[in-house]
Amino acid sequence: MNLILFGPPGAGKGTQAEFIVDRYKVVQLSTGDMLRAAVAAGTELGKMAKAVMDRGDLVDDQIIIGIIGDRIDEPDCKGGFILDGFPRTLGQAEGLDRMLDEKGLTLDAVVNISVPDEELFKRIEKRAAETGGSRADDNAETLKNRLKVYHDQTAPVLAYYEKKNMVDTVDGLQAIDQVTANIVTILDGKR
């Protein structure tokens, strides 16, 4: 099973990804982790990414999609994968679709965890209070900026997959175990 876990920052994607990985024996793919691994391994794409990062620039979509393509060719991804935090732009979504098509693979699901912005601010405040503000991104100003980027650049990706009738939305305001149960129902229906 190959899927995208979608939702705004603070929606609980990381928590749900852990459950999905455990239940469906798929691999969670983080573009940040993959970039660092490719650089450390000295692959061709890793060398290209390192040169870009060393200049302080963002790694372009073609390099990231190439790194994801290399990663999903590895044996542990044969049972499937979760993309969490990718694609972030329409260009990345279109590039991902082309790459998967070239490999004869498809996305089985795009699961959107929907949480209103007001609730996300409450969650960040609660987490900051519980952790004593130990995470640098646990503040309203950082979340405000992350949500602006999400709404401006990433939300159109959801519309792209909705046009393909691929999106299943889960109410992220429910208890964690209920969100998990809803995701399991969706994914079991896709098998």
71 is catalytic: no
CA gap 155, 143 in Å, rounded? 16
Q: Catalytic pick from 13, 50, 71, 123?
A: 13
Buried b (16+ CB within 10 A) or exposed e, 151-174: eeebeebbebbeeeebbbbbebee
User: Is the Cβ–Cβ distance between 4 and 107 less than 8 Å?
Assistant: yes
CA gap 23, 50 in Å, rounded? 35
50 is catalytic: no
Q: Catalytic pick from 36, 78, 123, 127?
A: 127
Q: Catalytic pick from 23, 25, 135, 148?
A: 135
Q: Catalytic pick from 50, 55, 71, 88?
A: 88
Q: Is the dihedral of CA 29, 31, 34, 36 positive or negative?
A: negative
Q: Which two tokens stand for residue 124?
A: 């960040």
13 is catalytic: yes
135 is catalytic: yes
Q: Catalytic pick from 55, 146, 163, 191?
A: 146
User: Is the Cβ–Cβ distance between 86 and 92 less than 8 Å?
Assistant: yes
Catalytic residue ranges: 13, 88, 127, 135, 146
